[in-house]
Amino acid sequence: MIIEYARVSTTDQNLDALTAAGAERLFSERVSEAKAELPELDKMLDQRRDGDVVVVTKYDRLARSLRDLLDIVEAIKERGAGFRSLAEDIDMTMPAGELIFRVFASIAHFERRRVAVSSRLFQYH
């Protein structure tokens, strides 16, 4: 079953891309503040099953941080489900997609660490 999740923050964001991906089940919520509860995300994570594929339009529509993204994708995989992101064109149901996802995650982590270290060095000069 294709399960789609969408977190939208404005009324002008729509779900057309997800609809085109052929979802059999759609979980969506409109949330603008960063600390808001995400009951539809929790419900989607609880209800996914072996063989399902969770599809999102973009990574940032699933998670608020890199750590959050990695944890959510791992939780999806633990239940035997796959993961796809349309904007990044990554399909983790395939080995190449999982590799690309891990490379992107590593690059994002590196960039955050580089910025953090640079910021600390700048404060001392």
For residues 104 and 112, what is the distance between their CA atoms, to the nearest angstrom?
Answer: 12
For CA atoms 14, 51, 107, 21, the dihedral sign is: negative
The residue written with tokens 């339009």 in the block is 57
Nearest in space to 13 (alpha carbons), one of 58, 64, 66, 54:
58
Catalytic, 9? Answer yes
Catalytic residue among 9, 32, 85, 119: 9
State the catalytic residues. Answer: 9
